[in-house]
Amino acid sequence: MEWEAVIGLEIHVQLTCCQSKLFSGAATAYGAPANSQASPVDLALPGVLPVLNREPVEAAIKLGLAIDAQIDQRSIFARKNYFYPDLPKGYQISQFEQPIVYQGHIDITLTNGEHKRIGVTRAHLEEDAGKSDHNGFGDQTGIDLNRSGTPLLEIVSEPDLRSAAQAVAYLKKIHSLVRYLEISDGNMQEGSFRCDANVSVRPRGQQELGTRTECKNINSFRFVEKAINHEIARQIELIEDGGRVVQETRLYDSDRDETRSMRSKEEAFDYRYFPDPDLLPVVINDQWITDVAATLPELPEAKIARLIAELSIKPEDAEQLASSRELANYFEASVAAFGEQPQTTANWITGELLGRLNKASITISQCSVSPEQLAGLVTQIANNTISGKIGKEVFAGMWDGDGDALEIIEARGLKQITDSSELEALVAQVISDNPDQVAEFRGGKEKILGFFVGQIMKQTRGKANPGKINNMLREKLAAYPTP
């Protein structure tokens, strides 16, 4: 039996762009002393009333526009009732029947390079709950209500994803998008971007969906992939052994790489949603949408298309460069500084630069090499002052703060040898030093050419122009008398 996985994601995005909470004036900064950012509204003191702030609504409109969604011009807030110690009101204000954003979509790129459209069912505003702190208070639990009332945008996908890899690609797209839109910092460690993964399996070809389970609150791309793969395998094994998947909420344990049941459908909360009588409907007029649309930056898809069409960047590189606004800005600043060979600049960024950033676990904004410095390096390679290989050494020097490319090239004597007579002498020398290899070459072993090039590179510490010596070697070896 061939199985097909079906996945839908619910993503909780904390709208870190907002100065204050969804319904109160308290600040939302991360890491403040416990309960220092909780107003009477967040504490749910008697007699207080929530008042909707404008910023979170604008953030939702931005996302809606960016995913080509419908924006509901009259949406309502609802109470989602449940008891939890860090939820003093006894309900969370969310949206149920009329979310602000619905019916959008986003395209992901599959591993084979094809694109796939993923539907976004809805995106609604809701407030976050507080936090319980079970550590550091002996047998008591501390309650911190700083997070209470923080604005969240919950983005719910259609069950259109078919593998863990597709789910991660989708998640990364949304992550990149909220950062482009500057509605969230997307910080997964701090919980500003987390996801619930709904997973089911069905025999391939079957229309009807299988029973799903939901893994809650996963906060890294790697864990999302692992949790989904684990869950797919668990469900298939269960069914093949004659069992049945039960609809339930599961917890992904990254230490053990497994999912565990938290609660089944029977134990699921009945939230008893109803419209919040304390809040008026949100009315969004056309003018407001137009005004917000005018503030949108160039979005990833448009940027990718432009990099490919105008700068002839390879599609996979364009996608990587456009994955964050900062990286794309870096690339464009570097290309502007040199003015030629954008693909070469792209290669240096996707290869050497991102490799080093990854290794050092830092982001492009913390990179010690400026876009102009990188342009300086690409210029020196383009005009043959140095080879690409020496370029790596120069790049390392710039990374370590030793100066600009030209300064490093001069200080370390790295200029490429392009002088023909000097190169010819080197070629003649390597030929007379290695009669055995010359015989092999003349016997038809073309590959031995690399050996000669290698010898010369070794002698010159990589400074000989490889193209030139290759040509000279071929010429000389052809003319060389048979021993």
Q: Which does 6 bind (CB under 5 to 8 A by kind): Mg ion, ligand ADP, none?
A: ligand ADP
- Under rule CB under 6 A, residue 60 binds ligand ADP: no
Of residues 7-66, those binding Mg ion (CB under 5 A):
10
Site string for ligand ADP, 167-206 (x = CB under 6 A): -------------------------------xxx------
d(CA 240, CA 400): 57
Q: Which does 156 bind (CB under 5 to 8 A by kind): ligand ADP, Mg ion, none?
A: ligand ADP
CB closer to Mg ion out of 10 and 107: 10
C-alpha distances in Å from residue 324, one per residue of 112, 299, 303, 320, 364: 22, 10, 11, 8, 9
Size of the site for ligand ADP (CB under 6 A): 16
d(CA 75, CA 449): 73
C-alpha atoms less than 13 angstroms from C-alpha of 364 in its C-beta half-sphere: 21
**Which value, to the nearest 10 degrees, does the dihedral of the CA atoms of residues 79, 81, 84, 87 take?**
20
Of residues 320-379, those binding ligand ADP (CB under 6 A):
none
CB closer to ligand ADP out of 196 and 317: 196
CB closer to ligand ADP out of 10 and 107: 10
What is the enclosing helix (H) or strand (E) of 264? strand 258-264
Stretch that binds Mg ion, among 4-12, 78-86, 285-293, 442-450 (CB under 5 A): 4-12
Site string for ligand ADP, 407-436 (x = CB under 6 A): ------------------------------
Q: Report, in Å, the least distance between residue 4 CB and Mg ion.
A: 21
- Under rule CB under 6 A, residue 101 binds ligand ADP: no
d(CA 71, CA 469): 64
Of residues 113-172, those binding ligand ADP (CB under 6 A):
156-159
- Under rule CB under 6 A, residue 94 binds ligand ADP: no
Cβ neighbours, 10 Å, residue 237? 10
Asked whether the beta carbons of 213 and 230 are under 8 A apart, the reply is: no
Q: Report, in Å, the least distance between residue 409 CB and ligand ADP.
A: 55
Asked whether the beta carbons of 415 and 385 are under 8 A apart, the reply is: yes
Q: Which does 7 bind (CB under 5 to 8 A by kind): ligand ADP, Mg ion, none?
A: ligand ADP
- Under rule CB under 6 A, residue 107 binds ligand ADP: no
Asked whether the beta carbons of 153 and 183 are under 8 A apart, the reply is: yes
Size of the site for Mg ion (CB under 5 A): 1
* C-alpha dihedral sign at 65, 68, 71, 76: negative
Q: Report, in Å, the least distance between residue 197 CB and ligand ADP.
A: 9
- Under rule CB under 6 A, residue 248 binds ligand ADP: no
- Under rule CB under 6 A, residue 95 binds ligand ADP: no
- Under rule CB under 6 A, residue 214 binds ligand ADP: yes
CB closer to ligand ADP out of 159 and 388: 159
CB closer to Mg ion out of 72 and 214: 214
Q: Which does 95 bind (CB under 5 to 8 A by kind): Mg ion, ligand ADP, none?
A: none
Q: Which does 212 bind (CB under 5 to 8 A by kind): ligand ADP, Mg ion, none?
A: ligand ADP
d(CA 137, CA 371): 50
Q: Report, in Å, the least distance between residue 15 CB and ligand ADP.
A: 19
CB closer to Mg ion out of 10 and 393: 10
Question: In this chain, which residue has its C-beta nearest to ligand ADP?
Answer: 8
C-alpha atoms less than 13 angstroms from C-alpha of 188 in its C-beta half-sphere: 16
DSSP secondary structure, 341-386, as one string: -HHHHHHHIIIIIHHHHHHTT--GGG-SS-HHHHHHHHHHHHTTSS
Q: Which does 159 bind (CB under 5 to 8 A by kind): Mg ion, ligand ADP, none?
A: ligand ADP
Asked whether the beta carbons of 216 and 198 are under 8 A apart, the reply is: no
CB closer to Mg ion out of 10 and 55: 10
∠ at Cα 460 (380, 351), nearest 5°? 45
- Under rule CB under 6 A, residue 10 binds ligand ADP: yes
d(CA 15, CA 28): 9
DSSP secondary structure, 328-345, as one string: HHHHHHHHHHH-S-HHHH
Q: Can you give 150-198 as a three-state secondary structure string? A: CEEEEEEECCCECCHHHHHHHHHHHHHHHHHCCCCCCCCCCCCEEEEEE
- Under rule CB under 6 A, residue 212 binds ligand ADP: yes
- Under rule CB under 6 A, residue 6 binds ligand ADP: yes
∠ at Cα 89 (87, 93), nearest 5°? 85
Token reading at 381: 């390679």
On the 0-12 / 13-18 / 19+ scale of CB atoms within 10 A, 174 is buried
C-alpha distances in Å from residue 393, one per residue of 111, 264, 383: 33, 58, 17
Q: Report, in Å, the least distance between residue 156 CB and Mg ion.
A: 8
Q: Report, in Å, the least distance between residue 463 CB and ligand ADP.
A: 58
Question: In this chain, which residue has its C-beta nearest to Mg ion?
Answer: 10
CB closer to Mg ion out of 217 and 429: 217
Applying CB under 5 A, the residues found at the interface with Mg ion are 10
Applying CB under 6 A, the residues found at the interface with ligand ADP are 6-10, 156-159, 198-200, 209-210, 212, 214
